[in-house]
């Protein structure tokens, strides 16, 4: 069994429909957890709110543990999962740019759309900025193309490229995540609480 669409259990045509429902659910949960607040998102950089860090670490740990258990029990074929290709320098440069945008604007692209949906003005400006960025990138694509297309390492994972045992990677990752939660809590208790 599984993954459901590549495995042929759900026809490919349902792909976009399922994606829309998952997208709506994702947006709802983001908004309900306060992720449409730029202060909450920027808080992780300034050290007064670690919700983002906790949420994403928890999501990663829960899904990776769940996926590997399902793979072990035969409900899911891990080799059929899509692995996003690694464009090394593109990812590094893009990561820096996105990080800078994240800390200055207080949104990541996904949460900015959430905030647009509830009518936040700063989010409108942020999304406009994204569009300007997209425009500049498209216009200067010839210039950026060597970085954009180059350094493609294919659909690799840490486990493939270093030959690590996935179970140890997961175990160590989980310990790092739980430690991060603990440290984040300690930091939060030490600093003066920020009202927003």
- Interacting residues toward another protein by CB under 8 A: 56, 58, 61-62, 65, 68-69, 72, 82, 84, 108-111, 155, 167-168, 170-171, 173-175, 177-178, 181-182, 185
Q: How far is the CB of 56 from another protein (least distance, A)?
A: 8
Of residues 3 and 147, the one with the C-beta less far from another protein: 3
Name the one residue in this structure whose structure tokens are 């996003």: 84
- What is the nearest approach in angstroms of another protein to the Cβ of residue 170? 5
Distance from chain centroid for Cα 148: 20
| Residue 95: both structure tokens together | 């990561």
Q: Which residue's CB is nearer to another protein, number 62 or number 134?
A: 62
The CA distance from 105 to 102, in Å, is: 5
Residue with tokens 């400006």: 125
Least distance between another protein and beta carbon 69 (Å): 7
145, HSE (Cβ side, Cα atoms, 13 Å): 6
- Start-to-end CA span in the chain (Å): 47
- 62 vs 132, beta carbon nearer another protein: 62
73 vs 121 by CB, closer to another protein: 73
Q: Kindly state the smallest distance separating residue 153's Cβ from another protein, in Å.
A: 16
Q: Which helix (H) or strand (E) holds 48?
A: none
Tokens of 124: 């409108």
Min CB(196)–another protein separation in Å: 21
For 152, phi then psi, to 5°, come to -85, 120
The C-alpha atoms of residue 153 and residue 100 are separated, in whole angstroms, by 25
């Amino acid at each position: 069994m599984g993954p459901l669409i590549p495995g042929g259990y759900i026809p490919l045509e349902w792909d976009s429909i399922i994606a829309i429902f998952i997208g709506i659910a994702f947006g709802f949960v983001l908004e309900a957890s306060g992720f449409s607040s730029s202060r909450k998102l920027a808080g992780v950089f300034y050290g007064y709110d670690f919700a983002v860090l906790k949420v994403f670490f928890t999501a990663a740990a829960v899904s990776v543990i769940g996926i590997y258990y399902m793979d072990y029990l035969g409900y899911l074929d891990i080799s059929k999962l899509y692995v996003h290709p690694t464009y090394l320098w593109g990812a590094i440069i893009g990561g820096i740019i996105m990080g800078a945008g994240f800390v200055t604007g207080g949104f990541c692209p996904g949460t900015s759309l959430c905030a647009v949906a509830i009518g936040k003005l700063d989010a409108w400006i942020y999304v406009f900025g994204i569009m300007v960025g997209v425009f500049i990138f498209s216009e200067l694509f010839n210039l950026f193309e060597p970085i954009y297309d180059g350094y493609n390492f294919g659909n690799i994972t840490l486990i493939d490229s270093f030959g690590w045992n996935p179970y140890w990677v997961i175990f160590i990752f989980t310990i790092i995540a739980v430690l991060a939660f603990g440290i984040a809590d300690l930091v939060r208790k030490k600093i003066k609480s920020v009202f927003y």
